[in-house]
Structure 1
Amino acid sequence: MTGFNCSFTAQLVGDLPLVGLNSSWDDSASANSEVPAIEDSWDYKKRPIRGVNLGGWLSLEPFITASLFDYDASKGVVDEYTLCKHLGAKKAAETLEKHYATFITEADFKAIADAGLDHLRIPFSYWAVRTYEGDPYVPNISWRYLLRGIEWARKYGLRVKLDLHGLPGSQNGWNHSGRSSQINFISGPDGAKNAERALDIHRQLATFFAQDRYRNVVAFYGLGNEPGFALPLDDLEEWTVAAIKVVADAGIQVPQIFSDSMRGLPTWKGKLGGTGQDLIIDTHMYTIFDPNLIAMEHAKKISLVCNDWKSMVVNSMSGANGFGDTMVGEWSQADTDCTLHLNGVGGGSRWEGTFSDTIGRPRCPTGDDSCSCDKANADPSTYTDEYRLFLKTFAIAQMDAFEKSWGWFYWTWKSESAHQWSYEAGLKGKFMPEIAYKRDWDCSKSVPSFGKLPRRTKQDVTVANQKNQFLATRSFSSTRPRPTANATFLF
């Protein structure tokens, strides 16, 4: 309980405990001099979110904390489900409590505010609230750390977006939902039951976070991270409408957030009307999970963001080509998919041609056997000045583009070794702006020269032509780890 405000009571709200919370709180802090205090109003259409995710903390992801998944392949430890099953209840509780207590600490919240960021997206999973028969997950412990994290956010003036990252049955079948498996949410043998369970979870959560204590610091309420593309759209829309009502009826007054489900922003145009609630669509933007975009020249990636991605966000915000109010809940600086376990434990990479959808054909610029992840996975201290400049420009371009929406949340704040997915590593390695709202470049300026960075030498895929075809039908939205060969790709 180190670091908690140690007040205890038998009182429950939404059948959830108030453990560790003092009876009073102070919302007078602001993240920095440029933004309002938590107790004051924020006009998101005039002042965008500049935020970061606390990924891999309360919902495990193997590529963020690879050490927790350092087992022989024969053990089959590939996600939080199999990790907890392998360790057993007692050891799993000890292991995860240590992780929760040490991976993210109060010092991180201060560093986030010092970096000029002002919002946090905090992913957590349903077992923070309850577990079901057959679940090996560690129940309830992460709940204490979620509450502690919100209080630390309040202390440093950071507003919070709650993000239910793992839903009963797994909403997408990927490891960040808790279990790498077939989707068993809405669809699947227990899909209907798990969809109802998720509504029950939201009823508890919304009842708890509707308390006066959270009216200012919790700025957004997320319904579920990245429901699978394979889910029938009509069924997903029906569940989303039901969830919106459950949350609103419990007293939540802040905007609710729903995922575009990796379908692209235009898919949701005209949908979810008549709910009477403030709704925002959340899209996630990456280039590296597409076999064509991953091979783009560095300067062209900057142009893609500044032109095409910015236009998509603007169109979506206007309702011309999407839902309306929009935010970008995830993005990164990574320009390869080389990070260990990014595509699932033992999943390989598109860059080297070892991922299942590449059939042995590397997707790196040269497209031949000279491709290697060694440089991509190297320590940032070894980066050349040109590569450091590219990474920083790539980050700023995305910030600039995404601020045409309600704003952005970088994925993620820290990691053990996924350097190009860590805002903290970018700051330390000087390939991220020192202060998020003070930037020395923007999309109105010419793309800088990146010197002798590798360019494509085999143009067996004409990216430019294919890009125009994609723009006509899709949003450039993709997801993180894709551990199975039959995953559907948007591009």
Structure 2
Amino acid sequence: MAPNNANSPNIPYEPLPLTDFPRSSVFQDSPSLQPSGFDSPLPDRTSYADDSITNAPSPRFLAAALYQGDDPGNRGSYASQNTFGSVAPSAPGSSVYALNVHSGQPLRDDGPDSEQGPGTGTQSPLYLAEKHVAYAAPAAKSKRKLLLAGAALAAAVVVIAVVVPVYFTLVKPKSDAAASSTTTSNPASPSSTSGTGSPTAVTGGNGSKVTTEDGTTFIYSNPFGGFWYWDPNDPFNNNAQAQSWTPPLNQTFQFGVDRIFGVNLGGWLVTEPFMRVFLVPALYEKYQSTTPQAVDEWTLSEAMAADTASGGLSQLETHYQTFITEQDFAEIAGAGLNFVRIPVPYWAIETREGEPFLPKVSWTYFLKAVQWARKYGLRINLDFHALPGSQNGWNHSGKLGSINVLNGPMGYANAQRSLDYIRIFAEFISQPEYRDVVVMFGITNEPEAPTMGQGPLSRFYLLAYQYVRGASGIGAGNGPYVSFHDGFLGLNQWAGFLPNADRTALDDHPYLCFTTQSSAPMSSYAQTPCDTWSASFNTSMSAFGMTTAGEWSNAVTDCGLWVNGVGLGSRYEGTYPGSWPVVGNCTSWIDWQNWNASMKQDITNFALASMDALQNWFFWTWKIGNSSTTGIVEAPQWSYQLGLQNGWMPTDPRVASGTCANQNIWSPPLQAWQTGGAGAGQIPASVSSEYAWPPATISNAGAVTLLPSYTPTGTVATLPPPTFTVTSGKSAQTANAGDGWNNPSDTAGEMVGIATCSYLNPWIGPSASPPSPLCSSGAAARALPQPPVTPFPSRI
């Protein structure tokens, strides 16, 4: 082992499988900043005149263990086993196998190279280099032997010319990428299939041409040995691999060993004013002089619905279609990233009376994201970002205003409804067609635990966990990791939570920019993430288990248009509501077009330190749209894509390893039960009893028995699957894409209102009183509805 940092020669970090790379070894003293615990507090929560949001929490901007061990086992693509009702072999003999490397030697991922011996250069696969070593060079042959050899070669060419088209046209097997995650080569010559007489590429590596669903093309750039795979006649094939060091989708991602290098797709399926998505004119900027003024997706939806001349709410679908496309997924894999965290709102499932959101349409685009992630070997963390009633009152929860989940008179009913939606999402993503792509489920984004109380939130988390495991079953590979946000209480407050729970993760969102501002230059922040975050993440990986940073950014000030919300200014310039001193002018922090090489390197150093300190992370966010007013990105330190394009984000995230010198970065592995192994799912009865649902009281509302509640008698709003038409010879049929419900034993209804009871508006706020009487005399003595028991599924 060798150190990766010249300033820490005694730290035994594992060497990276890279050629030498330049690294800055100069780290200046970092400013003493405390991390923001509440991501942009608005102290009085009264910055808008609208009475409906008087009690609003502050709007805010969302924000090296290499693969080790032996082959963890290959999983054939689900479609290969089931689409046509037959089982295809898992593929050492498949067409994809020839594209992969099977040597135990490390793969170079720095592009084509001249032959330098075994294992060098992606254009000279390792299995060929092995043959050069294993077999001596042939001795000089006679002329007759050479002629015979030439004749044989010519005959072989003829055979290949006949057999290969027939093979790919008629008998191409549904194949697996059987190589281990560290030895898969970059397929320079993509395989093809021909169902109509014209060849169509189904896989390719660096430099290959990709044809998208709408017929447009682009060149795939991935210098890291990754390759894409998409065969429309095999739509659930999981052969693709993002990079050589990331296991392909048909192999297990070993949490705690394989590192998460992730990015958020913020502002796509849950819009935010800050994101100012790339439409002309941009979504929110267009509706700043309207009534209502667009400050969140609720008011944006109302303004759009009234704007029938521009297409009404259909403008949102135009946004879904254009803001994130397939090419973004290809670029993410080519940037060395292996995960995407996708915020999804409850209205992807349904809306109820009075809720103005565009219902169900965003789900269609999440399904596209699954397809694109599958194509490029990326894994997904589905993040439940916006709950009915709002879990934090911030604009990204759908409606800026009050907290109405586990808080206020509708806090219990909204929690019941939210748990239903968690169950519905879990049932869908646990199906075998999707579980190898959507491998993590963030069940609630940023709940305001200081308002709700950790006890009620813990009970909510346990029941949500039981719903997810009920949908998928216990044990590695059965459904997603369940990710709990720390609720702004700090990672240490969740140490030991739910011992022996099967595959749970803890999520923290460390930001520096939403607290006290500093005039210190960017160069002074080089080690701030190491000093601020390393220790807590190291401890949590041991005390809780899998711990991730679900959001972080390069921002060290709150500069940037609408970073804090529409019209709220910035702390840095002293224009944010409250008593904030003027620290400086924001121009230098957002004028990225004039940043010099030193500034870009300073931001890069901060990014590297953050990546190393956080260990498993999702940067917020992949892209920021151009402002329709200025035509440029006005929050540059929040865009990973912009940083790559302009030189302040590392082109390979692995180079971050070793940046946090002397920080004792956590070493794998996780405990067995934390990865679905022995003991997984055996939560002690005393713990289950301690966190039994429902809580006795709801914050700012009182006894739960005196509050409006729902009953499980409704029809479950299941999520529809995508539709794929596959062809075999002259016949066409629809591929089995699942029915949206993994556990057929779960037949409980959806939580809906009781006909004889009264309910408040789900977004009413904590100051309202419960209806009185709550129910008619015939229902007044009803028992509090209990959550349905969901048996573990038999489908594995």
TM-score interval, smaller chain? 0.7 to 0.9
Partner of 1:315: 539
- More helix per residue: 1
Percent identical among aligned pairs is 41
Alignment of 1:201-212 (within 5 A): 201-212=421-432
1:264 to 469, 474, 490: 490
Alignment of 1:135-154 (within 5 A): 135-154=355-374
Aligned mates of 2:441, 2:649 — CA distance in 1: 28
8 Å CA contact 1:4, 1:148 repeated in 2: no
Structure 1 SS opposite 2:414: helix
8 Å CA contact 2:492, 2:536 repeated in 1: no
Residue identity opposite 1:382 in structure 2: N
Aligned mates of 1:273, 1:132 — CA distance in 2: 37
Deviates more, 1:30-39 or 1:246-255: 246-255
8 Å CA contact 1:285, 1:331 repeated in 2: yes
1:88 matched to 2:312: no
Structure 1 SS opposite 2:273: coil
Structure 2 SS opposite 1:258: strand
Residue identity opposite 1:33 in structure 2: S
Deviates more, 1:170-179 or 1:71-80: 71-80
CA separation of 1:156 and 1:60: change in aligned 2, threshold 3 A: same
8 Å CA contact 1:128, 1:139 repeated in 2: yes
TM-aligned CA deviation for residue 74 of structure 1: 5.9
CA separation of 1:92 and 1:248: change in aligned 2, threshold 3 A: farther
Give me the CA root mean square deviation. 2.2
Residue identity opposite 2:437 in structure 1: V
CA separation of 1:245 and 1:183: change in aligned 2, threshold 3 A: same
2:510 to 285, 288, 292: 285
1:118 matched to 2:331: no
Partner of 2:274: 63
2:394 to 174, 194, 208: 174
8 Å CA contact 2:429, 2:479 repeated in 1: no
CA separation of 1:4 and 1:44: change in aligned 2, threshold 3 A: farther
Residue identity opposite 1:285 in structure 2: P
Partner of 1:402: 614
Partner of 1:108: 328
1:384 matched to 2:596: yes
1:426 to 634, 643, 659: 643
Partner of 1:437: 654
TM-aligned CA deviation for residue 246 of structure 1: 1.3
Residue identity opposite 1:286 in structure 2: Y
1:351 to 568, 572, 593: 572
1:42 to 253, 256, 271: 253
TM-aligned CA deviation for residue 439 of structure 1: 5.1
8 Å CA contact 1:396, 1:441 repeated in 2: no
2:354 to 128, 134, 152: 134
Aligned mates of 1:314, 1:333 — CA distance in 2: 21
CA separation of 1:328 and 1:259: change in aligned 2, threshold 3 A: same
Residue identity opposite 1:426 in structure 2: G
Residue identity opposite 2:564 in structure 1: N
Partner of 1:375: 588
TM-aligned CA deviation for residue 427 of structure 1: 0.3
Aligned mates of 1:297, 1:382 — CA distance in 2: 16
CA separation of 1:434 and 1:24: change in aligned 2, threshold 3 A: closer
TM-aligned CA deviation for residue 204 of structure 1: 1.3
Aligned mates of 1:283, 1:73 — CA distance in 2: 36
Aligned mates of 2:288, 2:531 — CA distance in 1: 45
Q: Deviations over 1:410-441 (max 9, x none)?
A: 00000112211010000011000112224597
8 Å CA contact 2:384, 2:442 repeated in 1: yes
1:329 matched to 2:555: no
- Of structures 1 and 2, the larger Rg is shown by 2
Structure 2 SS opposite 1:83: helix
* Residue ranges of structure 2 left out of the alignment (5+ in a row): 1-211, 216-231, 473-477, 626-632, 663-796
Partner of 1:469: none
CA separation of 1:234 and 1:295: change in aligned 2, threshold 3 A: farther
Structure 1 SS opposite 2:433: helix
TM-aligned CA deviation for residue 93 of structure 1: 2.7
Using the size of structure 1 for normalisation, the TM-score is 0.80
Q: Deviations over 1:173-220 (max 9, x none)?
A: 001111101001111231111101111111211111111101211111
8 Å CA contact 2:522, 2:599 repeated in 1: no
Structure 2 SS opposite 1:431: coil
TM-aligned CA deviation for residue 39 of structure 1: 0.8
Aligned mates of 2:467, 2:437 — CA distance in 1: 21
Q: Deviations over 1:220-273 (max 9, x none)?
A: 111010001422111111111111111111226321001001111111123334
